Structure 1
Amino acid sequence: MADPRTDDLLDASRVDMPIVPAPVDCMPSVLAAGRVAPVVKVDYYGGTVWDVCDTELARMALADRRLSKDIELAPDWMRIPGEFSGSLPSPEVARIMLMSEGAEHARIRRAHARIFTPRNAAKWAARLTRLADELLDGLAAEAFAGGGEVNLVERYVDPIPLGFLCEMLGLRPERHAEMKHLTDDIIYSPDQAARAGGVGALARAVAGWASDPSSLNEGVITGLLHEVDGEAVVTVDEVVTWTFGLVLAGYQSTASLLSSAIFEALRRPAGRRPRGETQIEAWIEEALRAHPPATHATWRFAAENLDLGGYFIPQGAPVQINIAAANRCPHGELADDFDPGASRDHVSFGLGRHYCLGAPLARVETRIALGAFLSRFPNARLSETTAVGWESDWMNRRISVLPVVLAAITQPDHERLDERD
């Protein structure tokens, strides 16, 4: 394919993006980029990133094979300690599914698909239900005793995906706090040195488990290690790298989705909250659209000079897809727009060959946890004295403080808890 005539194409305008994590909600800034132009440029650690904001162009970019996810195409200036491309091993050591293409991507995806089977999903759903009930039992007992306001992120939202992920990987309970601390640092610390330190510490921890799995329960890590000498030809370095990726992707993103779904429910009177599986599933899809846990997709790189919707993107350019803006264009919605009855589509899990393999599991986790909470505490409400707290940058976004008043449950409810015990 001939290179596009650059003099016939548009040069994207520059916009400011909040690239350093901070205790604020960056969603208004991320959405504002989409109102500037369909494609914009962002200054990022001394380099330039092309940011695709328009809905149709975002869909085109997600499926365009000229926009490659091959990590070898990343420019040297992006290999920043603590940042995404600087947190990965060299391609010669191991590749992750998100940063590979072609036959290598297909091989890695097949290996991961063995994990996300229908049989495992059924088993995991049962475990998630038990975990949610255990956490809610504790909150219910506290509410019955006259307990006041709680940060639901600490008491319910984080422990569900974190506890489930650790169990799925085969990590014992004493590892849970370590996983939370490290992932919080890697994704949300404003200190780049702390992020880089978290990356190193997590990589060393996973490497230690892989070299001596006796400290693990049976789970994903031991399952992958069993493939090292099998026909899948998985290497120990790949087990380490893939586990690292599962930790980062499997905990924080699901926690962000769950907290946003609960937040939107508690902003409304009890009668306007979702009830039943159909309403809850629609609510989750709208939470994914309006509050994507990753406001931008994972990195892509232009394998050649290309014309994207009339904009020139040079070969080698890092390209991002602004998921948050694409989900809301062309209506120019504000950051707090939320309407589960509208049934609007979204690209929060991507599109095409790189569609998120863990999307069904994230939906199951959120459906179970959201439904269980609203059923147990139908009259819970947001605090009137403590503000909801956010942490975000242009890539990631979560609620860090969700202050909730749990309406006191009745004596029979509490007695039923005792009877079940």
Structure 2
Amino acid sequence: MVPTAPTAPTAAPVPPPSLADGVRAPEWDEGLDCWVVADPRLAQQVLNHPGFASGTFERSFQLYMTDAARAEYRELTEFLRLWFVQADAPEHMALRRPVQRMLSASYVRSLAPRIEEITDECLDDLAAGRPYDVMPPVADGISGKVMAHVVGLDLPPVVLHRWSRTLSLFIGAMYRRDHALAAHQVMVEMSEALAGARALEGFPVDTEEDRARTTATWAMCLFGGLETTASLLGSTVLTALGDRALWDAVCREVPGAVEDLVESVLVSRPPLRHLGRVAAYDQEFAGVRLSEGDLVLVSLTGENPLNDAEEAPAAVCPVTGASAAAAAGTDTGVKAAGGGSERHLIFGHGPHYCVGAPLARLEAAILLRRLARRFPHARLAEEAAVWGPNLSYVGLDHLYVELAGDA
């Protein structure tokens, strides 16, 4: 049954999102026990509206962990609460700004030579193995080595991905004690490793609170740059090799083909398909009544076009030059399945737009180019794709290819 709000809801500080003609209203999902916002035009409003708070971890701790579990793993829950994606204005912007400056467009562009070196190393590892599986040596390898370089850690990708996958399991199933225990151990390992990381230089560490916040911030950045990026890299290769016309355009270095292909994959095979929000107060919302504390699942992959947006924080990627409009198809011949949207929400929208979006796009573009130059005759193996049962993101566990004419 859909929960009912009190008779006299708290007044919203700003007008709530309205239900325009043709926009699908939010729906209550009994199985998920939350509201689902599927329409992209409404999703865009929710992601940029103060009536919907970002602190989903805190609400999930309350809903899915017992009092005893919260007490036992208080250090872990406090660690996750400090991730700035869980904060809203003005705290969110204050915490995000120094990271955003560090991951500026000029800095990300400067990483291109190092990412090319890393990619070539990972392609060497791919060629040395049998069977040829893109995921562990290439997708995990590139994303792991790039993030280790950015943060300043001397750790192999397998360790970093173990950390992120363990945290993903806990975030997706907080009620399980085994996940909480494993995530707590990962928190300890991450905190110890980050204590001397280069990226923390210049961030506040004077007090215990400063150190906790700074460590949590870079743990979050490290987490965010691993699994979803590896998923994007794998899906990009799967899509390219699965369509000979697309792969031919990449191999012939048709201008814009690589960037358009990456953008189309973000739409057709997005690593992350939803974001969570929490109703900040009792409110009337697009034709339904929400109570304070209701969880709201916001789809990033709605079917309708985003043709009423006033702005898009990254309509054009400042590093690769890719435009979200490429998903609609261009003269390069690259077109996403179900394309047609002017802009997409895969990296979020508004103040919480993904700070690492340009880096993820750059890694995928470089991988396509280096793979095409070294293995232009590569193709998918039979039963190539093995999708993982991931709770927090959509990704491949394995992607088997044939490297015909490998060098």
Q: TM-score, normalised by structure 2?
A: 0.75
* Rounded Cα–Cα distance in structure 1 between residues aligned with 2:216 and 2:343: 32
Query: Per the alignment, do residues 204 and 235 of structure 1 end up closer, same or farther by CA in structure 2, a change over 3 Å counting?
Result: same
* Rounded Cα–Cα distance in structure 1 between residues aligned with 2:157 and 2:201: 18
2:154 is the counterpart of 1:172: yes
Q: SS where residue 27 of structure 2 aligns? A: strand
The Cα shift of 1:79 comes to 4.6
Query: Per the alignment, do residues 329 and 392 of structure 1 end up closer, same or farther by CA in structure 2, a change over 3 Å counting?
Result: farther
Can you list the C-alpha shifts for 1:124-175, whole angstroms capped at 9, x where unaligned? 22210111122224445x4xxxx764111012111001111112211114x4
Structure 2 counterpart of 1:21: none
The Cα shift of 1:380 comes to 1.0
Report the RMSD for the aligned CA atoms in angstroms: 3.4
Structure 1 counterpart of 2:321: none
Q: Which runs of 5+ in 1 are unaligned?
A: 6-36, 332-336, 415-421
Which amino acid is 1:181 matched to?
R
Can you list the C-alpha shifts for 1:182-230, whole angstroms capped at 9, x where unaligned? 222332589844432332122101222355x2xx5xx213453xx3249
2:51 is the counterpart of 1:48: no
Q: SS where residue 350 of structure 1 aligns? A: coil
The Cα shift of 1:391 comes to 1.6
* Rounded Cα–Cα distance in structure 1 between residues aligned with 2:139 and 2:57: 37
- Which of the two has greater helix per residue? 1
Determine if contact 1:202/1:244 at 8 Å carries over to the other structure: no
Q: SS where residue 235 of structure 1 aligns? A: helix
- Which one of 200, 203, 209 corresponds to residue 221 of structure 1? 200
Which amino acid is 1:166 matched to?
A
2:335 is the counterpart of 1:347: no
2:63 is the counterpart of 1:77: yes
Q: SS where residue 357 of structure 1 aligns? A: coil
Structure 1 counterpart of 2:296: 319
Q: TM-score, normalised by structure 1?
A: 0.73
2:53 is the counterpart of 1:68: yes
Q: Which runs of 5+ in 2 are unaligned?
A: 1-7, 12-23, 307-334
2:384 is the counterpart of 1:399: no
* Rounded Cα–Cα distance in structure 2 between residues aligned with 1:99 and 1:200: 19
**Count, aligned residues:** 349
Which amino acid is 2:282 matched to?
N
- Which one of 385, 388, 393 corresponds to residue 388 of structure 1? 385
The within-5 A match list for 1:32-47 is 38-43=25-30
* Rounded Cα–Cα distance in structure 2 between residues aligned with 1:309 and 1:60: 10
* Rounded Cα–Cα distance in structure 1 between residues aligned with 2:187 and 2:371: 34
Query: Per the alignment, do residues 150 and 370 of structure 1 end up closer, same or farther by CA in structure 2, a change over 3 Å counting?
Result: same
Q: SS where residue 34 of structure 2 aligns? A: strand
2:78 is the counterpart of 1:90: yes
The Cα shift of 1:94 comes to 6.1
Structure 2 counterpart of 1:203: 187
Identity of aligned residues (%): 24
* Rounded Cα–Cα distance in structure 1 between residues aligned with 2:161 and 2:372: 25
